[in-house]
Structure 1
Amino acid sequence: MNIMTEFTNILTGAILPAFYLLYQLPLLLASGLLARRFRPHNWFEFFAVAGFLYVLFMTAVPAILGSAGLLTAGSAFVAAWVAGAAVLAVERERPRLKLPPLRLSLPELALLALLCGFLGYQWRAYGYLSAIGTDAMIYHLYYPAVWIATGTVERLTQPGFVTSSYPCYGELIYAWQMVSAGTDFFAKNYQFFFLLLGVFAAISGALAVGFRRMSAIGAGLFVAFTGVVFRNATVANTDIVTGTFLLIGLVFLVTGARRNRPGWFLLAGAGFGMAAGTKYLGLMLAPPALLAAGAAVWFLRPACRRNLLWCISAAAVTASPCFIANWIVAGNPFFPARIGIGEWVLFPNYLDLHAPAIGWSRRAWAFFVNADSNSLHLPNALLLLVFLAAALTGWIGTKRFGRRPFRVKAATVLGAIIVVLLAIQLRVYPSMTQPRQIIPLAMLAAVCGAVPLERLRRFRFFRSGRGMAAVIAALLYLASYRQLHYPTHGLAMLLHYAIGGAILFGFFRSRSRILRIGIAAGTAVFLLLDAGYRFGASQAIASSIRSQFVSPANEEVRQLLDQSATRLGLRIAYCGAYYYNFIGSEGGNTLLSIPVTASGKPDPWDYHSFEEMRIPGSYETWLERLRTAGADFLLVDLRTFPAPEPRIELDWANAHPEEFIRRFDADGLTLFELRRRP
């Protein structure tokens, strides 16, 4: 590829992020203006609040549009600018926010540059990859793609899965990212945004309770460098999203308790509510976290008791839409969970998943701590345990807990909450889930790292910024080296570190306002052009990347379907897990869920087990449903189809060549075309 071709790709690709920014700018402006209402004390607080408000906009806009059947690119653009204009009209008379200048020392700048290099390199590198991850294929990206194609936020039944009843705030966020870009380029790695937001929240929370800035920055970086956490930022899941919301809820609650301001309690409640509305794990963790933190505020800060009601109300209002909808449609707000004691059941509709919790046993350690890239590795786990122990023992050495500084009380309460949440997760959450479900608690435990860093200042060597920065850097390496092979990526990461350091040094050390504006503008233009180039390059290698990370057979079937597609797309009866991979290059294909049972009930809440959904089956009834649904193809993926008796559809199709023409059969993936009836 010559220089002119590269230059053309950059300019052509830059059109995408330019249009994407036109959708984001009004919401970013609105978030920044509204953040002033909360009177943040420093820039870390400001960005944490503004970032969270931006997330609320990203969730609300597609939810409202999708409920009205208007989730299109044009409607989203208009809605974003209407929302931005409305906030501007209300907030334009508010006095300008005057925050103290952020005067960072050289060691602090070096640590923040380390963060820029670490996250920036990974975000840029993974931007070349196509969307990956099983859960992203099943629903995190597939649901938004279908919603955008139909204009409506709706439940999508999938054989072998109960995803249609899951909380959906994460998918709404991905829907906004996809409708505003017209592609999944930004959505597929958008957990990096939430990881960065979690860093700002951790730093702002540590500063709010009284930790020194170096300790606070260290705590924020521990969140980003924890191996199992940043490893999952490269996939369009919702584990980091949930962890960030939970962290925001606790941080804003303790900030509100310190200052006794109702606005912070409302934000905290919204954070807990968003955690519950994003993932069932969040629903399990957020209420006890809120109750435990609220109890601490009730007893330690009596003046804030009235504001706690605002926090609880905000959490309930924020989370409730997902579960009210479940109650109306499925007859159980928490479907598929069985809620009851013994034989007594509160809600009659549930699924018996045969997935007991891990429990309080040695198996839990082996499950979460091992050499797998989606788990905590041993040094990282021990480091987090040290942080947690330091937080829990901070009060030792004083006769009365109430005499300790506020930061010690806050850290002890956080440590106790983590222990309680871990006990609940081990006892309740199904073992069928993956070890990455520890991510929210790992993020909370990482924040406890501020406690030992603060204690190190008792020693003269660590009172200097350089000594403390060296310790933090060493601990960051210990936390991250198993999930990121530094000998392979180290040189490129150092380059990003140097660029990030130069930008930060020039911006924060320059006394010229014009120069700072120039640095910010130049950085923005570079990121715009760079994103455009990476988008163009990723499109060119997308097919080979999918072949490598999914399978060559999947990619071959995808291309066969693209060649067969009509202007209106194809209707495909699909039995597998990679839904998103087969919606077509323009998202025009419709993937159908065709029941095989004689009853024909398509929804999981009509049954009490997956077996009831499959057995006994009726070929004649199933075939008639295929014809009625207008199916063009039947696609069966035995490698990923989780339903009981996964060969039912395949065996029926093989036994009836008069109805089904086999077009592809390899690597457990079989594609049939339905013969057209005269």
Structure 2
Amino acid sequence: MTAGSFVVAFALLAVSSAAVLATGLVLQRRICLAAGWDDALVLITVLCLAEATVLCMVVSLWSGLTSWAVSAGSLLVFVVVVGLTRRQPAEQERPENALQVPAPSDRPDDESAGSEPLPWSRPLAVVAVVLSALSALVGLRTPPLELDTLAYHLPTVVTWIENASLWATVYPGVEDLINWSFTSYYPGNGEIPCLWLMLPFRSDLLVNLVNLPFVAMSSVALRALLCRLSVRPSVANLLAWSLFFLPYNFDRLLNTGYIEPCWLFLLLAAMRYLAGLLVSEPGASSRVGLGLSLGLLLGAKSSAIFFVAVLLAAGIGRLRRERGAFIVAAGLGLLGVPWYLKTYLMTGNPIFPLRVTVGSHVVLPGYWDAAPSTVLAAFKSSKVWLTQLDSYWRALGLTGVIVLVGLLAGPLALSLPPVRRKLSLDRVGGLFLLFPWVFAILFLATPLGALYGYFTFRHALPAVAACLVSVGLVLDRWAAARPTGEVVAQAGIVHCIAAHSSGGHLALLEFVGLIALAWVAFKVWEKAGTARLVVGVVLIACPVVWKLVKYRERTRYDVYLAAYHKGYIHKAARWLETEAADGAVACAGFPDSYFLAGQYLHRKVLYVNINAGRDWLYHQYPNGDYRREPDYACWLGNLRASGVRYLVTAYYGLSGFPIEHHWASTHPADFEPILVEDRCRLFRLRVGPGARSDPLGSSGP
């Protein structure tokens, strides 16, 4: 990437992001003029995510998904929104918190909503900035390394970029790993933030930064939810910091392409607006926020269906009596349903690959059963999590004690009348005490989430956040005059911060320098305001990111070769990057074919069917057996028809080399070996006057 192209890409990203943010600010002020800073941030973030998602959907259908089209579309939306709202007065909505929070004289401590809740909030903010800066520096100078990110999160985004459409399908790319062949059928809202950062650069330069704002905003959403439930600001801040400083956030979520941080933020935002709907007369912010957050949540991942159903069941009584029912339905239909409609049009089943049966009759065809007996069997089989308690301790640290209290609070409050009277909980408070158990059961009923311990603990984060909400209710109502619970929470935060310092990513001098930089930033913010601080950060960030980009270009494949065993496919990727011109690559045998696309996605990577079903996807094969009836002539014709120039075959796990490797090795007239390694082969597809371009057409088996 040249300096000029980098500046253009950076400018396009800045323009589109600024336009979306400005639109969110305008809409937030029109929807709810009077709001606390946490509520305002949550609503603005939800509005921005909704606009970015709809914008990408519309641009994909209208003109093709390009960075120029997205930037122009975001500016057009901003102009239209400003024009439509210019003469309309903002809704003078009273802050919803004011309806329930007792007067300062009635509070157990002498606080009010506007006072400084914790004297050590600013030191914690400095620590948060330093840890975030450390994580961002590591993320900018190293390429994505996490397995799931490389296996299907980034390949999905790359497919969208290469085809200039959100509706492009991802072909199965690995043998004997059935789950990773279902990427084409999953909802895609969770991948939009990665797409937003990758589209201008056509590269993963900024992808490692995608989850940092969502980890922070999840904490802000948790604080807004607790304050909406009339929890004291000191307790709300304490638990918000506890969520932010979880060791798992910095160890497993940041610097990855996981969608769980975004998904957790949307879930907490939806819970906050659900609380606003149930506690008092809902304003426009609760109705609009609930509809948008539930729609985004539904379209983020398939398992969100169950969480959306739980939240709708909790608020259905109030929604039926309010105008909000239509707004919620519109949000679900606009932001969530299109992904399921796409899957339905492809497979005849909106929740494919799940299979729904009634008795012996198959209602929705698929490959995984969703019957109650199957869920119960999965719940029983996931008892293995009992042997992995050390993983949960690593993920939560001392905060795990607080989470355990939140998990036990619901059963104790509902089963013991003295506890219930002491807590003085109303119906809404009791409902939120039940959410930890509901979310925990949903986690345990998914073997993929519960069986793999620390690696998939991210699926348990909704239950963890719900436990923190439960703890907030207990601390606020029972332990108001006893600081014991808050002291434990403070100790948990300190323990989590100490856990981060063991990584040793940067030298002590750099660490001290970042602390000084954070202190200067706070001083500038106090004197100059937010706008000037943001402009200064952007001006400084551009050359810093450029230097890190050049460093990353030089070391990218060295990092991969050091991180992944003996390199496998990465040696072929480095050869293609340095020696080969553009040309499509077919890959077989190794799941992480993402590397072969090149640093700037200038090379198309394909899985080419080995039978007569050239363009067939998983659901089009009987029993999903897309490797059935292999035929060399069909495969060669598919390669030539797809414009493939190179073939990479790799040894993977117990499968060994795939059949494509045997075919290419035994047909030297069609394939020229270029790179021969113990576990990786690179071939060039020969072209000649007698080459067969399409022996069997595209008819299926």
TM-score interval, normalised by the smaller of the two chains = 0.7 to 0.9
1:532-587: CA deviation from partner (whole Å, max 9, x where unpaired): 44334433432322322345443331122124543x53343444222321112331
Task: Name the stretch that deviates more: 443-452 or 484-493.
Answer: 484-493
Query: How many angstroms does 1:307 deviate by?
Result: 3.2
Shift of 1:50: 0.4
Aligned to 1:280: 302
Deviation at 1:251, TM superposition (A): 1.2
- Relative distance call for 1:112 and 1:553 in structure 2 (3 A) is same
Corresponding residue to 1:133 among 146, 158, 174: 146
Q: Does the 8 Å CA contact 2:586/2:608 hold for their aligned counterparts? A: no
1:328-366 deviations in whole A, cap 9, x for unaligned? 11111111111113432112354689x986423563424
Equivalent residue runs for 1:450-529 within 5 Å: 450-454=472-476, 458-459=480-481, 471-479=488-496, 485=502, 491=508, 496-497=514-515, 499-501=517-519, 503-504=521-522, 507=525, 510=526, 514=528, 519=533, 521-529=535-543
**Alpha carbons 1:289, 1:417 under 8 Å: kept:** no
In structure 2, the partner of 1:48 is 42
- Does residue 654 (structure 1) correspond to residue 665 (structure 2)? The answer is yes
- 1:668 and 2:679 aligned: yes
Aligned-pair CA distance for 1:303: 9.4
- Structure 1 pair 288–121 and aligned structure 2 pair: CA distance change class (3 A): same
Q: What is the distance in 1 between the residues matched to 2:622 and 2:125?
A: 52
Name the counterpart of 1:83: 77
Q: Distance in 1 between matches of 2:63 and 2:319?
A: 47
Q: Which residue of 1 aligns with 2:629?
A: 616
Aligned counterpart for 2:19 among listed residues 26, 29, 52: 26
Which stretch has the larger CA shift, 482-491 or 200-209?
482-491
Map of 1:559 onto structure 2: 574
1:37 aligns to 2:48 (yes or no): no
In 2, distance between residues paired with 1:583 and 1:235? 18
Contact 2:435-2:466 at 8 Å conserved across structures: no
> Which deviations, in whole Å up to 9, do the C-alpha atoms of 1:195-214 show, x marking residues without a partner?
12211111111112211112
Counterpart code for 2:404: L
Q: 1:636, 1:19 → 2: CA distance?
A: 37
2:30–2:89 CA contact under 8 A, matched in 1: no
Kept in 1: contact 2:67–2:199 (CA 8 A): yes
The answer (yes or no) to whether the contact 2:9–2:201 under 8 Å persists in 1 is yes
Matching residue of 1:184: 204
Decide whether the 8 Å contact of 1:383 with 1:479 is kept in 2: no
- 8 Å Cα contact 1:170/1:241 also seen in 2: yes
Aligned residue number for residue 233 of structure 1:
254
Alignment partner of 1:141: what SS? helix
Is 1:445 the counterpart of 2:463 in the alignment?
no
1:244 lines up with 2:265 in the alignment: yes
Distance in 1, Cα, partners of 2:276 & 2:126? 27
Does 2:193 correspond to 1:199?
A: no
Secondary structure, aligned partner of 1:572? strand
Distance 2:210 2:196 in 1: 11
Please state how far the C-alpha of 1:57 moved relative to its aligned partner.
1.7
Q: Distance in 2 between matches of 1:249 and 1:519?
A: 31
Q: Give, in angstroms, the shift of residue 319 of structure 1.
A: 1.2
| Counterpart position of 1:320 | 337
Other-structure match for 1:4? none
Question: Per the alignment, in what secondary structure is the counterpart of residue 145 of structure 2?
Answer: coil
1:298-309 equivalences in 2 (<5 Å): 298=317, 307-308=324-325
Q: SS where residue 644 of structure 2 aligns?
A: coil
Q: Cα 1:361–1:350, aligned 2, differ >3 Å: closer, same or farther?
A: closer
Distance in 2, Cα, partners of 1:527 & 1:417 = 41
Partner of 1:294: 315
Structure 1 residue 590, shift from structure 2 partner: 1.7
Q: Which amino acid aligns with 2:283?
A: R
Among the aligned pairs, what percent are the same residue?
17
| Cα distance in 2 for residues equivalent to 1:32 and 1:215 | 28
Paired residue type of 2:146: G
Deviation per CA, 1:5-54, whole angstroms, max 9, x where unpaired? Answer: xxxx9999777645421221111100011111332521111111101111
In 1: Cα distance, 2:518 partner to 2:544 partner: 15
1:247-282 Cα distance to aligned partner (Å, 9 max, x none): 111112112333422441332132122222111222
- 1:427 aligned to which of 420, 441, 445: 445
Retained in 2: the 8 A contact 1:331–1:347? yes
Cα distance in 1 for partners of 2:184, 2:4 equals: 40
User: How far, CA to CA, are the matches of 2:6 and 2:640 in structure 1?
Assistant: 42
The answer to whether 1:118 aligns with 2:131 is: yes
Aligned to 1:418: 436
In structure 2, the partner of 1:344 is 361
Separation of aligned partners in 1, 2:369 and 2:611 = 18
Name 1:389's counterpart in structure 2.
408
Aligned residue-pair number: 650
Checking the alignment, whether the CA contact within 8 Å between 2:141 and 2:549 is kept in structure 1 is yes
Does the aligned pair in 1 maintain the 2:198–2:204 contact within 8 Å?
Answer: yes
Which structure 1 segments of 5+ residues have no match? 1-8
Within-5 A mapping of 1:521-600: 521-550=535-564, 552-566=567-581, 568-597=582-611
SS of 1:60's equivalent in the other structure is: helix
**TM-score, length-scaled by structure 2:** 0.82
* Alpha-carbon distance change, 127 to 396 in structure 1, aligned in 2, over 3 angstroms: farther
Q: CA deviation at 1:496?
A: 3.9
CA distance 1:521–1:396, change in 2 (3 Å): farther
2:617 to 603, 607, 613: 603
Say yes or no: does 1:637 pair with 2:630: no
| Cα distance between partner residues in 2 of 1:12 and 1:676 | 34
Q: Are 2:30 and 2:85, in contact at CA under 8 Å, matched by a contact in 1?
A: no
Cα distance in structure 1, aligned partners of 2:439 and 2:476: 25
Secondary structure of the 2:682 match is strand
TM-score by length of 1: 0.84
* Distance in 1 between residues matched to 2:241 and 2:11, nearest whole Å: 30
Superposed CA offset, 1:164-209 (max 9, x none)? 1111112233222212344322233201121122111111111122
Q: 1:398 to 1:497 in 2, by over 3 A?
A: farther
Whole-Å separation in 2 of the counterparts to 1:502 and 1:515: 13
Unaligned runs of 5+ in 2: 96-112, 175-180, 690-701
Using the alignment, how far apart are the partners of 1:576 and 1:69 within structure 2? 34
Contact persistence 1:203–1:216 (CA under 8 A) = yes
CA-atom RMSD, angstroms? 3.8
Contact 1:573 1:592 in 2 (8 A): yes
Is 1:48–1:197's contact at 8 Å kept on the other side of the alignment? yes
Answer whether contact 2:398 2:492 (CA < 8 A) is retained.
no
Task: Kindly provide the amino acid, as one letter, of the partner of residue 418 in structure 1.
Answer: P
The answer as to whether partners of 2:440 and 2:463 remain within 8 angstroms in 1 is yes
| Range with bigger deviation, 582-591 or 307-316 | 307-316
Indicate yes or no: 2:295 matched with 1:260: no
Deviates more, 1:228-237 or 1:76-85: 228-237
